[in-house]
Structure 1
Amino acid sequence: MELRRVSAPGYLLNSDDREFNVDEPYEASPQENRKAATAMSNVLSVLTHYSQMTGKVVCGKRCCLSGMDLLDASLNISLGRIKQSFVLADPNLFDMPIVYASDAFLRLTGYARHEVLGLNCRFLSGLDTDPSTQFLIKECIQAERPCTVRILNYRKDKTSFWNFLHISPVRNATGKVIFLANSSF
């Protein structure tokens, strides 16, 4: 899949802190595609394992004191073992809020968990985030298909970072999309 170039000129830092030029559309490397596939595989494997072990539907939720819907505690613990940066969003709730954020995601963005749960992932966008990339993400979500893009996002301290983002729908046994898994590199 061709990745869209974000409008800011210059150089990007990849996950190995090496620079590369982005003067034209970016094609994901096989290594980047493998990283995205591995991250999604880890998330999906934990979700599948949870369903098999408990006999519960993966989208089971409980209520916390604040009234926000959260993932079942045992699923939360299982997801916490995944070391990649990712969030799960619930496409069946208004504005597709984040219902889980990994520790790596929190370190990457500088936010605390309570600051991101319940927000739409758009909160990471800023003035220089390319609207055409945002539109591509929206189209893929509406079509319930995965997408991979490189997008300019912003941390809590307002510093920007290039996010190699892979979004994948997670379906239950009936084929209904119950989560959007968003992994960041």
Structure 2
Amino acid sequence: MRTSRRCLLIWIKEFVAVGLEAEDPCVAGDWEKQKALSAVNNILSVLNRYSKLTGIVVSEKRCGNVRSIPALSSSLNLSLGRIKHSFVLTDPHLPDMPIVYASDCFLRLTGYLRHEVLGRNCRFLNGQGTCPEILEEINHCICSGRSCTVHMINYRKDGSSFCNLLHISPVRNATGKITYHVWVHLDEGSKMDFSGLSPEIWQLGAVGAVKVAVRSLSASCSLSRLPQ
């Protein structure tokens, strides 16, 4: 066994040496590069669909750079998925308060893919036209645990701007502790049917639905821990 293994190692070394001494380097052509890129994109597409169903974050970056955020429970993901508004959830207990959930409507509004949003701070929507004073107001309200509604300029993935009616509200669990912040985004230039409601009341409806989902989950978890 040792002799066979030693012979195999010698053969591998000789094979590598011959390859290194080859006059013509092995260079991938455009067709091979395109085929490899297509394969990678297909894999990422499958993983992103898996991420959407499970809440597990999938990133196209290398493992050393993946933003590590805890996955939401499947029950909470399911409840949030029923809310047909453009919103994100951020976790104030994680460094830089990253996005831990993004609705499909938010992705359509901004043009980003889910894996490009999760784990990032909401500031990636800001740009040259974003008012610094409004950002200070948002930060102050978040730090003091208050809700706020602002009008600001934000930017989509393609660089186009939109007038954002943004409502931010703390989301408390069944014990009253702030667990998330919900950010409800509304493009003021879009023609939406608010069913006779004002845009502000329509946004509050989304906030209420998110709070019910979070509190219901935390209450059920608390009950499950009670002694039988």
Using the size of structure 1 for normalisation, the TM-score is 0.64
Residues 129 and 153, structure 2, Cα contact 8 Å, conserved in 1: yes
Q: Distance in 1 between matches of 2:57 and 2:85?
A: 25
How many angstroms apart in 2 are the aligned matches of 1:92 and 1:78?
A: 22
Larger radius of gyration: 2
Moved more, 67-76 or 84-93: 67-76
- Does structure 1 residue 130 correspond to structure 2 residue 134? no
Matched residues in 1 for 2:169 and 2:57: separation?
27
**What SS is found at the alignment partner of 1:179?**
strand
1:172: which partner in 2? 173
Structure-2 separation of matches of 1:83 and 1:172: 22
Aligned to 1:160: 161
CA distance in 2, matches of 1:111, 1:164: 19
Mapped partners of 2:163, 2:90: distance in 1: 20
SS of alignment partner, residue 70 of structure 1: coil
Query: Residues 1-185 of structure 1 correspond to what in structure 2 (within 5 A)?
Result: 67-185=68-186
Of Structure 1 and Structure 2, the greater strand share is in: 1
Aligned residues: 124
Question: Within 1, Cα distance between the matches of 2:155 and 2:56?
Answer: 30
Q: Between the two proteins, what is the percent identity of the paired residues?
A: 60
Unmatched 5+ stretches in structure 2: 1-54, 59-65, 187-228
Question: Are the aligned partners of 2:57 and 2:115 in contact in 1 as well (CA < 8 Å)?
Answer: no
Q: CA deviation at 1:63?
A: 6.2
Structure 1 residue 110: deviation in Å?
Answer: 0.2
Q: Distance in 2 between matches of 1:63 and 1:99?
A: 10
- Alignment CA distance shift 1:109-1:145 (3 Å): same
User: C-alpha separation between the residues in 2 aligned to 1:96 and 1:82?
Assistant: 22
Shift of 1:73: 1.3
Moved over 6 A (4+): none
Kindly provide the amino acid, as one letter, of the partner of residue 130 in structure 1.
Answer: C
Match of 2:24 in 1: none
Is the contact made by 2:57 and 2:118 (CA closer than 8 Å) also made in structure 1? no
Amino acid at match of 1:166: H
- Which residue type is aligned with residue 133 of structure 1? I
One-letter identity of the residue aligned with 1:155: R
User: Which digits, 9 at most, give the CA deviation of each residue in 1:62-97, with x for residues without a partner?
Assistant: 865765312111211111111110000001111100
Question: What 5-or-longer segments of structure 1 have no aligned partner?
Answer: 1-61
Q: Which moved more, 1:148-157 or 1:171-180?
A: 171-180
**CA–CA distance in structure 2, aligned partners of residues 156 and 145 of structure 1:** 29
Tell me the SS of whatever aligns to 2:105. helix
Mapped to 2, the partners of 1:83 and 1:157 lie a distance apart of 23
Q: CA distance change for structure 1 residues 64 and 84 in 2, over 3 Å: closer, same or farther? A: closer
RMSD: 1.6
SS at structure 2 position matched to 1:107: helix
Q: Work out the CA distance in 2 between the residues paired with 1:161 and 1:114.
A: 22
More helix by share: 2
Give the structure-2-normalised TM-score: 0.52
